[in-house]
Amino acid sequence: MTMSDEQRGSGVSSFLIAHHSGTLYNSAMLKLSNRMSRLGTETAFDVLVRARQLEAQGKNIIHLEIGEPDFDTPENIVDAGVHALKHGAHHYGPSAGLPEARKAIAEETARTRGIPVDPAEVVITPGAKPIIFFTILALVDPEDEVLYPNPGFPIYESMIEYVGGKAVPVPLKEENNWSLDVDELERKLNPKVKLLILNSPHNPTGGVIPEFDLRRIAELAVKHDFMVLSDEIYRRVLYLSHYHSISTYPGMKERTIILDGFSKIFAMTGWRLGYGIMRSDLAQQVSKLQTNATSCTATFTQLAGVEALQGDQSKPEEMVRTFRERRDFIVNGLNDIPGFRCKTPDGAFYVFPNVKKIGIPSKKLADLILEEGGVACLSGTAFGANGEGYLRFSYANSKEKIGEALNRVRKTLMDHRLIPV
């Protein structure tokens, strides 16, 4: 007996050919859940795919689009991962993470933020990204409001919408040094606001929220009773002397979920290792989500992570010094291009120049720079509507390549008479 169309769930009687990712399927039309239409994506990966296509056609591309260090993971960390694999770290572990890794993370967080942290308040995930998903899944009901930075990491809005929450953008403005306007934030508060997402240092702008503003936001969180997801993944890629976490202000330890991880500062993006610090009752729920989604994080990567936190710190420190030099280099170079205006960011490895004077939409400009100039960068609109008029360049590339990229951008704009020749 062959299945009927109805059993297949196609809902149509004729034979359909669905076309997906270049494969022809002689079967029923794919009927996705409604919620999939609300799921966004990260354009950086799409641009990377297009850049690779151009490379396959023989074009030389300079990659300034993707948010990962161009350094290799430090050797002591690689050795610890290999050692773990050679000594039996081959099996499932507890969903919340290995006890020794949770302990190492709790100690590191307590030391660096100056708050007490118990290992029961740590959940280790494959990369830090699942902390965004799991936190939102655990806390947000349909109709709940979640405030998030715009421009901002696109996954926030995507996840809020996916679970049926109401995504309320909090604009970040260049004139505010890419921090949020706390008065404007306050005006958006109402009893439906369940969660505020902060990201400092910030992707895509490199902005850092000043301590004074953090303190005021903390007071609002306590007064209006909402939680804060504090995305601190770029905490150590900082060009200021002190880092301030919102978790340290009165009443905030129990209201904050700190997101942090190993991807950026230890150049471990491909290992997939991140974590969240949160009250232990929430940690249990988030662990349950992890049991459902991935079971656990790979055990050998967690053991490499312990070495990352407790071993020699000279490589990450050197990396940040190099990023600082490149930051100054790219900011100067961009400000030398007519029509570009670029602030000097205080953290992360991105610059977010204002390109409004060039006079064409950011997406069109980013496409032109890639297709003709051979420089992959992102349109500010990849980070939300408030990114119009800006581009994001990652300076996780050599000074030599950045210099060449700047020349190419200038030439492309001149060729198109977008800037004076």
* Nearer residue to ligand PLP within complex by CB, 47 or 419: 47
> Which helix (H) or strand (E) segment is 256 a member of?
strand 256-261
CB of 381 to ligand PLP, least distance (A): 17
Select 67 or 316, whichever has its Cβ closest to ligand PLP: 67
Q: Is the peptide bond before 191 cis (omega within 30 degrees of 0)?
A: no
What are the φ/ψ torsions at residue 123 (nearest 5 degrees)? -125, 125
Kindly provide the residue ranges of all beta strands, DSSP E only, lying in 292-357, ordered along the sequence.
350-351
**Is the preceding omega at residue 204 within 30 degrees of 0, hence cis?**
yes
- For the bound state, the minimum distance from the C-beta of residue 66 to ligand PLP, rounded and expressed in Å, comes to 9
Closest to ligand PLP by CB, 233 or 308 = 233
Burial of residue 136 (CB within 10 Å: 0-12, 13-18, 19+) is buried
Measured from the CB atom, is 235 or 410 closer to ligand PLP?
Answer: 235
- The residues pairing with 378 across neighbouring beta strands, listed in sequence order, are 392
Nearer to ligand PLP, 226 or 262 (CB): 262
Which residue number has the CB closest to ligand PLP?
Answer: 127
Cβ neighbours of 199 (radius 10 Å): 24
| Amino acid at site 358 | I
Beta-sheet pairing, 227-231 with 193-199: parallel
Spatial neighbors of 206 by CB under 8 A, at least 6 apart, are 178, 327, 345, 346, 347, 348, 349, 350, 351, 352
Closest CA to 200 of 176, 221, 224, 222: 176
Could you tell me the two tokens for 347? Answer: 């953290």
In the complex, what is the shortest distance from the CB of residue 199 to ligand PLP, in angstroms, rounded to a whole number? 5
Shortest distance, position 123 Cβ to ligand PLP, whole Å: 14
Binding site for ligand PLP (CB under 6 A): 67, 127-129, 153, 199, 203, 231, 233, 261, 263, 269, 274
Closer by beta carbon to ligand PLP, 121 or else 231? 231
Closest separation in Å from C-beta 322 to ligand PLP: 19
- Phi and psi, residue 103, nearest 5°: -65, -45
Q: Name which of 304, 286, 303, 233 is nearest 73 in CA terms.
A: 304
Shortest CB 288 distance to ligand PLP, Å:
20
Of the pair 300, 340, the CB lying nearest ligand PLP is at 300
- Given the complex with ligand PLP, which of 196 and 337 has the nearer CB atom? 196
